[in-house]
Structure 1
């Protein structure tokens, strides 16, 4: 704090800041009876207004506008619990005139002091309001960040749940793939067995076709078998009771097979005997008994 200026006895002298004072940036000059002890103390639970402190102090005899750089030593102001700030520095011109509060100027000093206090209070209040607005915006941003944090936590939970579901789906897909591979192997086995069955079926069909051809062959030779059987039994067919021709010439021209077929067709009523029955040969037998010379000779077919 600079020392007090002595009065030289000239009450009409007006002290004007020198060029040296102009070069000093942010010079801290206080009135005679304003010291650091008169500044507001730190109060963590209340807000202290510099305007109230200035209004409660006695009016100095030598008045000088206060530079806001001197407010750096003042206490921090608390707007709400846990939030402190310091007033911002104000830029005030350094070429301010110093007025000697002599008895001749005592009437104008209170008016200047009151005007300065009003301006100072208005400036500080404007800055405090600006800081309050900024703090309110910070509170809003903090609430938004808290909401975003909550939403991110919910998203993390949902993502974790989705990851678990995806793992379950992967496990099921792997099981389905294993089952599908087993089914594919089973299908391959069935295909191979089906091919073998087709081959066996084709073989059986070939055998059936061969048997059918053989059956046809057997059916075709059945008539030959009957003919052979008739040939083997030709000596067993004896017809008798046919009258014999009297003349020798007539007996030579006699057709014994025709006689038998006519007999079969007319007497025995065998239909189409001439077409169905084939007689290889037919002839008459000689006398079987010597004592019956006139007995009809037998026909052997």
Structure 2
């Protein structure tokens, strides 16, 4: 019996293609004929020529070709499934990587959440301290307001006290000036000796009134004495000419004082001098005004002092700030 080699294609089941023998002795089911017996020909089956054999074998080969085509389709589908499985593997790897990233992200979020909790606790603590500080500030503001009110009251009291002190100071200076109203100071009169007594000073002053002032009588006075710093007058060779101290004399009344003061014109061009006695504050003010007094006299203006006030041509002179600065510049350092 003749056999045919049927090709077997490479499929997932068979990896290598090969020919498998097919035996013609196997019975073939064909609906087109019915075999009666091995010796009698069947209806519709032709055995006389090779053409008849080919025509008979054609239906037998076609089922295997269809099977191979189906196997090829199945192979392609399996290959597609494998490709998709590879894609799924890659996707699985990516999902794993993503899962690890998500896990890391969860850990990071947990750390951040913990830090946020710590920050919230810190902020709550700060808020509590801030509220406490705010309350303290409010209390301090209240205390400061009270202190400010007390300070304002104290400033008002100090202002009133300062005003009262200024008035008292002015009254004190006025009282001192009035108490010295009958006093005159004599300068340049030699001392009888270094430890001159008051009685001796009074006799020296009486002699000075008659000899130097050329008074017709000795003015009535209460007492006289020397005071202040000792001054030594010397000759050109350095020897002592005489020693002197100022003499203050209190006269019986203002008329007696003016009687002696008006006679001071007799002392012009001498080393003697007569002046009114004033408190130190008045003398300091008069010293400041003295250059302006001299300047007015050089300009032949009528100038005179009234206590610590200077009048020039009947108008009180008040030195300007510019004049004060110029005077300070003229003073040697």
**How does the TM-score come out when normalised to structure 2?**
0.45
Answer 1 or 2: higher relative contact order, Cα 8 Å, separation at least 6. Answer: 1
Structure with the bigger percentage of strand: 2
